[in-house]
Amino acid sequence: MNCALVTGGSRGIGRAICIKLAAMGYYVLINYKSNTDEANNTLELVKQAGANGETMQFDVADKQQVNDVLSAWLKANEDKVIEVLVNNAGVRDDSLMVWLKDEQWDKVINTSLNSFFYITRLVLEGMMMNRYGRIVNVVSLSGLKGLPGQTNYSAAKAGVIGATKALAQEVGRSGITVNAVAPGFIKTDMTEGLDEKELKRSIPVNRFGTPEEVASAVGFLASKGASYITGEVLSINGGLYS
Ligand code: NAP
């Protein structure tokens, strides 16, 4: 059975990606950190999209948890193949650099950047043996442009962009593509406190994006049709200069 693993699949962009990959026929592994009810809701939506899946709870920032839960799943499911990995889980914890605390730096770097390493290395082996794989990393406009108040988040996302480009060159000959999508402002819990009325004036399409609009691009990069695109970062930001 062909599977897709989506980190942070319980809400927001991750949920929309789970539904998209379900519609593409994948058995979806829905990772989440703590929100079991919302993860179960995503599973329900995956089923409504005509596929199946399961929820998988682990903190992507915790190397031990990733190793314990994901390795155990891989061992117990040797009949299944993870063809698609979407590294989507992420958090922001903004502060100007002068006031940025150790915990804020560590949390954001561990969740967005270190998780990429912890998870991708476990899934990569199977993809290489299968000689097929699609890895899509959800980064951000902040990782391309840098945003004030987000040195931690910008550094984490820029780090994943570098890793995307490097890994793409390592695994291209194994039939694996590695790409990133860089959303601008998307309507989710993460952007709830932001003033859309004010911010949309700087966005050419004059609105925030939807999780489905990000999922649609991820679905394309995860498809067989995107086989000659790798090491690329696709901006999904309504034309906001990046
Ligand atoms: P969101 O609505 O806040 O949802 C975050 C998701 O990530 C939830 O499913 C959450 O799980 C999960 N998560 C957070 N920390 C985790 C951890 N340590 N381990 C496992 N799962 C974890 O966020 P979003 O807006 O959909 O963002 C998704 C991705 O897009 C992030 O990487 C974010 O940086 C990026 N992004 C978002 C925007 C935007 O405008 N929204 C723009 C650019 C980039 P629980 O439900 O269990 O908490």
For the chain, domains (ranges, CATH) are: 2-236 (3.40.50.720)
Per-residue pLDDT band for 1 (boundaries 50, 70, 90) equals confident
Tell me: pLDDT of 67 over 70.
yes
Coil, helix or strand at residue 68:
helix
Pocket of ligand 1 (CB under 6 A): 7-14, 31-35, 38, 59-61, 88-91, 111-112, 138, 140, 183, 185-186, 188-191
CA-to-CA distance for 13 and 3, rounded, in angstroms? 19
Structure tokens at 15: 């949920």
Coil, helix or strand at residue 1:
coil
Dihedral through CA 150, CA 156, CA 162, CA 166, nearest 10? -170
Q: Which atom of ligand 1 is nearest to the CA of 211?
A: 26
- Best residue for ligand 1 mutational test, from 87, 91, 110 (most atoms within 8 Å of Cβ): 91
pLDDT value for 169: 98
Phi, psi of 85 (to 5 degrees): -120, 125
Q: Say which of 32, 118, 132, 153 is annotated catalytic.
A: 153
pLDDT value for 236: 98
153 given a catalytic annotation: yes
Pairing of strands 2-6, 27-32: parallel
CA-to-CA distance for 161 and 128, rounded, in angstroms? 21
Tell me: pLDDT of 7 over 90.
yes
Model pTM score: 0.98
CA 163 to chain centre: 14
pLDDT value for 242: 67
Over residues 117-140, the pLDDT tens digits come to 999 999 999 999 999 999 999 999
pLDDT value for 241: 76
What does pLDDT average to over the chain? 97
Ligand 1 atom 3 nearest Cα: 190
Mean pLDDT of 97-113: 98
Distance (angstroms) between ligand 1 centre and the Cα of 111 equals 9
Mean pLDDT of 194-220: 96
